[in-house]
Amino acid sequence: MYWRKFNGDIIDLPIKGAVELAIQRETNAGYRLKVCIGTDSQVKGADTEFATVIVFLREGHGGFMFIHNDKTKLVYSIKERMLVEVARSIEIAYELCDLFTLYDVDMEVHADINTNPHFKSNEALREAMGYILGMGFAFKAKPEAFASSSCANKIVN
């Protein structure tokens, strides 16, 4: 699984090491960090492309993100695809959560799921929220889920 920066630079370290170095660098520079993790997907012909992002927010000073892209030929219903997105975000959040605890960094998992019942993605809201909260993570859905609905969305579109 390879990760990159928004400018396209490949991250050579395992993601946990890269995140730890980023946290150390930013906190040593005096920034208070918050991390938001989200995944979005797009069906393109026979492929479903996923983008997972780790967004680092410097309180009052912008932010940056690490990106992972992946494609599959698997066909999903809209609900399944939403839950796969959430599972991918949780997988990364779980891998990194001890770092966030160690360095006292707030973390949220963002789901690209609409809270409005008139949207198809809403079918997955209850399960996604239960999954994320059940893992002990803070949860945001649209319109507050910018990591998935804005940042990751830009990567797959």
Whichever domain contains 45, its CATH number is 3.30.420
* Structural domains in the chain (count): 1
Is the pLDDT assigned to residue 122 strictly greater than 90? no
- CA-based nearest residue to 128, from 118, 142, 20: 142
Question: Whole-prediction pTM value?
Answer: 0.93
Residue 110 neighbours by CB under 8 Å, 6+ apart? 36, 37, 38, 89, 140, 141, 144, 145, 146, 147, 148, 149
Mean pLDDT of 80-86: 94
Is the pLDDT assigned to residue 1 strictly greater than 80? no
Q: List the single range of 33-47, 62-76, 121-135 with lowest mean pLDDT.
A: 121-135
Task: Round to whole Å and give the CA distance between 124 and 114.
Answer: 9
Range of the domain at 99: 3-156
Binned at pLDDT 50, 70 and 90, residue 124 comes out as: confident
Mean pLDDT of 73-93: 94
* Placement of tokens 């989200």 in the chain: 38
